[in-house]
Structure 1
Amino acid sequence: MKNFRNTILMLAIVTAFLSTGCIKNEIATFNGAQIEWDASSWNSNAAGLTYPMMIRVPIYNAATPNSSPFITRTTGTIRLRVNVVGAQAATDRAFTFKFNQAESTGAPGTHFQAVTGTGTIPANSSFGFVDFVVLNPGAGTGTATAVLELTENAVFKPATNYAKIGLSIAQP
C-alpha cells in the first residue's frame, strides 16, 4: 500500500512538471496610429454591408439612440467624430477621407456638399471632426445615401472594421 501511494505521488509530481512549460510570451506593442469613425465603432453594420448606414444623427461615444433625430434633407450640418487609436501627439495631425461614389446613391452638390477629404486631429487630442452638410434639393422620394471612407496617409492608417460610415438622407 505504501508503494502504491508513493507511485501515485510520483506520477502526480511528474504530471505536474510535464503539463507546464516555460513559453516566452511575446508582448505585442502597437506603435502606429489608426483612425476610425466614432459612429462606426458604436453602431451595428447595416444588413449586407460592412459598415453602419446611419438613418439618425449620430451622437459621440455611444450607440445612436431612437431619440436622435432622423437624417433628412432639412437636417443641415452633421458633425461626425473621428477617433484616434494610438497615442496623442504634441502637434496637429491631418487625416484623409473620401466620398465613396460606388457605394453611394446621393450626389455631391445636390444632396450634400462635396466633402473636402481632409480633417485635423488637434494637438494633445484623440478626436477630430468632419462636418457633413446636407443640402435641401426640395421634396423627393426615397433616400440618398453617402458613404464616407477614411483613407491612409503618412500619419494615420484607417482601422479595418471602422473605416466606413454611411449616411441615409430621407427625401420626403
Structure 2
Amino acid sequence: MKKILSIFSLVMVFVLGSCIEQNYPIWEGAEVEFQNAVTTAPVAGQNYPRLTVANTVGTVNLQVNLVARQRASDETITYRVVPEGTTAVAGTDYNVSGTLTIPANSSFGTLSVAVVNTGAIGGSVDLLLELEGNATIQPSENYKRVQLRITRPNPPAAG
C-alpha cells in the first residue's frame, strides 16, 4: 500500500507541476551591432576588434545586425568615425557616408567603407567606426565599434 501511495504521490507531483504557467520576460528593446565585433576577439586592451585590409581592396562591407523584431519600413542608422583610434584621413585614406540602411523586413544592413588606394607608400593607418543608432534603435554597448587597419605596401626598393 505504501508503494502504491508513493507512486501515486510522485505521479501527482509531475501532473500538477506541469500545469504551472511560466511567464518568462520578453525583451522588447532594439539594438544594432557589428557582426565582426560579435565574432572577432577584441584588440588587446580595447573593447573592439581590428580588421586588417589592404589599401587596394576597394570597398569593405561590414554587416550590421538588428537585434530586435524586424521593422516594416527601412531603418536609417547613423555611425561616426571616432577620432581617438583613427589615424586615417577622410578623403585621402577612406570615404564613408555616416549612415547605413537596414531594409524593411530584414535583420541586417551593410556599412560600406571605400578604401582609397594611396599607392605603395608603406605603413598603415587605422579607422575606428562606432554605431550610433537612431531615435528607436540604440547601439549595443559591447559590439558598437570596429577598427579597420588599412595597410599600404612599401615602395619598391631603389635599385
| Smaller-chain TM-score bracket | 0.7 to 0.9
| 1:46 aligned partner | 43
Residue number in structure 2 paired with 1:106: 88
Specify the alignment match of 1:73 in structure 2.
55
Contiguous gaps of at least 5 residues in structure 1: 1-24, 56-70
Structure in which a larger fraction of residues adopt strand: 2
Structure 2 gaps of 5+ residues are 1-21, 154-159
RMSD: 1.6
Q: 2:19 maps to which residue?
A: none
- The 4+ residue runs of structure 1 with deviation greater than 4 A are none
CA contact (8 A) 2:124 2:149 kept: yes
TM-score by length of 1: 0.73
Instruction: Quote the Cα distance in structure 2 between the aligned partners of 1:142 and 1:50.
Output: 24
C-alpha distance after superposition, 1:119-160 (max 9, x if no partner): 111010000011111001222222111010001320210111
Amino acid at match of 1:155: T
- SS, match of residue 36 in structure 1: strand
| 2:38 corresponds to 1:33 | no
Distance across 2 between alignment mates of 1:84 and 1:52:
19
Q: Identity of aligned pairs, percent?
A: 37
The count of aligned residue pairs is 133
- Where do 1:155-166 residues align within 5 Å? 155-166=136-147
Matching residue of 1:119: 100
User: In 2, Cα distance between the equivalents of 1:168 and 1:154?
Assistant: 30
CA distance in 2, matches of 1:53, 1:26: 41
